[in-house]
Amino acid sequence: MAVNKNVNAGARTVRPRRRDAARNRDALIAAGRELFDANGLTPTLDDVARHAGVGVGTAYRHFPNKYALAQAVLAESVTDMLDAADRAAQLDDAAAGLAALFDAVLEPQAAKRALGRVLRDAPDTAPPVDDVHTRIENCIDTLLERAREQQVVRSDITATDIGVLMSLMGHLIERFGDVDAHLWRRFLPILLHGLRADAPAPLPGTALNTEDFISRLGRSTQP
Return the number of the residue (43 or 177) whose C-beta is nearest DNA. 43
- From DNA, a second copy, none, which one binds at residue 161 (CB under 5 to 8 Å depending on kind)? a second copy
Where b means 16+ CB within 10 Å and e means fewer, 104-142 reads bbbbbbbebbbbbbbbbbbeebeebbeebbebbbebbeb
Euclidean distance between CA atoms 103 and 96, whole angstroms: 10
Q: Does 9 bind a second copy (CB under 8 A)?
A: no
Among 32, 40, 97, 108, binds a second copy (CB under 8 A): 40
Is the Cβ–Cβ distance between 155 and 148 less than 8 Å? yes
CB of 68 to DNA, least distance (A): 9
Q: What is the largest CA-CA distance in the chain?
A: 76
Q: Is 194 in the site for a second copy (CB under 8 A)?
A: yes
Q: How far apart are CA 133 and CA 154, in angstroms?
A: 23
HSE value, Cβ hemisphere, 13 Å, CA-based, for 176: 11
Can you tell me which of 6, 8, 42, 155 binds a second copy, judged by CB under 8 A?
Answer: 42
d(C-alpha 45, C-alpha 42), whole Å = 9
Site for a second copy contains 192 (CB under 8 A): yes
Q: Between 65 and 90, whose beta carbon lies closer to DNA? A: 65
Q: Counting contacts by CB under 8 A, is residue 222 touching a second copy?
A: yes
Binding site for a second copy (CB under 8 A): 40-42, 44, 117, 161, 164-165, 167-168, 171-172, 174-176, 178-180, 182-183, 185-187, 189-196, 199, 201, 203-208, 212-213, 215-217, 220-223
